[in-house]
Amino acid sequence: MSDSAFHYVDGVLHAEGVSAASLAEQFGTPLYVYSRDALTQAYRAYADACTGRNATVHVAVKANSNLAVLNVFARMGAGFDIVSSGELARVIAAGGRAEDTVFSGVGKSAAEMREGLEAGVKCFNVESIPELHALNDVAKSLGKKAPVSLRVNPDVDAKTHPYISTGLKSNKFGVAFSDARATYAQARAMEHLDVVGIDCHIGSQITEISPYLDALDKLLELVEQIEADGMHIRHVDVGGGLGITYDDETPPAIGDFVKTLLDHIEKRGHGAREVYFEPGRSLVGNAGVLLTRVEYLKPGEEKNFAIVDAAMNDLARPAMYEAFHRIVPVVKRDAAAQTYDVVGPVCESGDWLGRDRELALVPGDLLAICSAGAYGFVMSSNYNTRPRAAEIMVDGERARLVREREEVKQLFAGESILPD
């Protein structure tokens, strides 16, 4: 949670200049709330660090794909990183440009490749030889040349959760480092591919710079070998993955992170190449909170439970990754705290949002689940036939509804029963 965007005024949590209690009253709960200022400041930290350097920022759409969020970045001149044709459609609907968009993803379909080529995306990050052949065939059918970059797996340990580590030999992503040089040679031989870059993404929620530098050293060594084979690599895509503070993590400041990587590339003699950054979590994670209301307090022999109206279908990260999110009261209560597991109403033992939290509560109280701007709403589902939450964007003292709350009837509108 961004302390500048989300802060207490007279004991009441505010999102910028708006009381979180008033947002819950007006729009209901569960409710995702985003701060435009927090989004803006995080993006500017990247953009400012790239100013005067041969580097560009491509927002990872998968972290938060709300149109209003994407539009905030598009207005500031951001590029985008997508992993589906659906995300491409969102980028364009939000005011972004296909020619500033990199198309990543390990399993692009031929139809998605066709849509990307017809739209004119900046580059395809390709992850296997079969995908190279498929893209070459699609480009041939359209009479086009597809700009490609190979995602190379450097086998670097990003020291993060195994589910969000992507740069090891055991991960499904990328071309094996030992095969990369030969794979580039195959790509070069394909008539409808234009090899323009090299790509690497080693994981997510990374809080140290050293894994990036290790990966860069391997990547730049490979670039020199590829160019010795007669190809020119115009850009180096360093991916995303920079972590945020959920609890007591101390990731590097965005500006320091960007400067360190760019300086390292220059020192290795590769400063003439364009560098792509693809941040997601570090842009949006602490720009959002999830508001939820306490339904019941249930004491138990071993645990006390605070049962709230948000659940694992609204925020999957705790159940999926055992992820920690700070949980704070919207209105501070001057009373003795108790230890609670904060859980939802979904019929699963894994439906928990926080364990062993010290909170002073009565039924009806509002809680804010912090750092929920990344991989929050985008991973939500309708499990237990639960409508997904509404989303709000706060801008100063104004709050705008940027996604309506779903209604139950919408959830089965496309279904039908069997005829007699």
Per-residue model confidence (pLDDT) at position 419: 95
Average the pLDDT over 391-400 and give the result. Answer: 98
User: Both 251 and 300 in a single domain?
Assistant: no
pLDDT tens per residue, range 249-278: 999 999 999 999 999 999 999 989 999 999
Whether residue 72 contacts residue 39, with contact meaning beta carbons closer than 8 Å, is answered with yes
Per-residue model confidence (pLDDT) at position 3: 77
d(CA 29, CA 216): 44
Question: Would the pLDDT of 359 be above 80?
Answer: yes
Helix (H) or strand (E) holding 213: helix 210-228
From the number of C-beta atoms within 10 Å of its C-beta (0-12, 13-18, 19+), residue 159 rates as: middle
User: Both 25 and 153 in a single domain?
Assistant: no
> Domain for residue 216, yes or no?
yes
> Domain for residue 416, yes or no?
no
Average the pLDDT over 104-114 and give the result. Answer: 96
Q: How many CB atoms lie within 10 A of CB 314?
A: 29
User: Both 279 and 155 in a single domain?
Assistant: yes
> Domain for residue 41, yes or no?
yes
> Domain for residue 418, yes or no?
no
- We report the CATH number of the domain holding residue 12 as 2.40.37.10
Domain-ending residue, one of 235, 264, 283: 283
> Domain for residue 83, yes or no?
yes
Q: Which residues are catalytic?
A: 347
User: Both 252 and 332 in a single domain?
Assistant: no
- How far is residue 125 from each of residues 4, 72, 160, 273, 404, measured CA to CA in Å? 36, 25, 23, 17, 34
d(CA 228, CA 226): 5
User: Both 63 and 127 in a single domain?
Assistant: yes
pLDDT tens per residue, range 292-323: 999 999 998 899 999 999 999 999 999 999 99
Domain-ending residue, one of 236, 262, 283: 283
Query: How many separate domains does the chain show?
Result: 2
Question: Would the pLDDT of 328 be above 50?
Answer: yes
User: Both 169 and 256 in a single domain?
Assistant: yes
User: Both 274 and 296 in a single domain?
Assistant: no
> Domain for residue 68, yes or no?
yes
How far separated are the first and last CA of the chain, in Å rounded?
54
Per-residue model confidence (pLDDT) at position 301: 86
**Angle in degrees, 0-180, between the axes of helices 180-189 and 210-228, rounded to the nearest 10:** 50
Q: What letter would DSSP give residue 322?
A: -
d(CA 378, CA 394): 19
Domain-ending residue, one of 283, 304, 337: 283
Instruction: Domain of residue 347: give its range.
Output: 6-35+285-411
pTM, entire model: 0.95
d(CA 244, CA 181): 34
User: Both 18 and 28 in a single domain?
Assistant: yes
User: Both 243 and 292 in a single domain?
Assistant: no
User: Both 279 and 293 in a single domain?
Assistant: no
- We report the CATH number of the domain holding residue 253 as 3.20.20.10
> Domain for residue 419, yes or no?
no
What tokens appear for 8 in the block? 């207490």
pLDDT tens per residue, range 151-182: 999 877 655 445 444 444 556 678 999 999 99
Per-residue model confidence (pLDDT) at position 133: 98
- How far is residue 255 from each of residues 51, 113, 249, 258, 268, measured CA to CA in Å? 11, 34, 17, 5, 20
> Domain for residue 21, yes or no?
yes
pLDDT tens per residue, range 9-30: 999 999 999 999 999 999 999 9
User: Both 291 and 242 in a single domain?
Assistant: no
pLDDT tens per residue, range 364-388: 999 999 999 999 999 999 999 999 9
User: Both 31 and 45 in a single domain?
Assistant: no
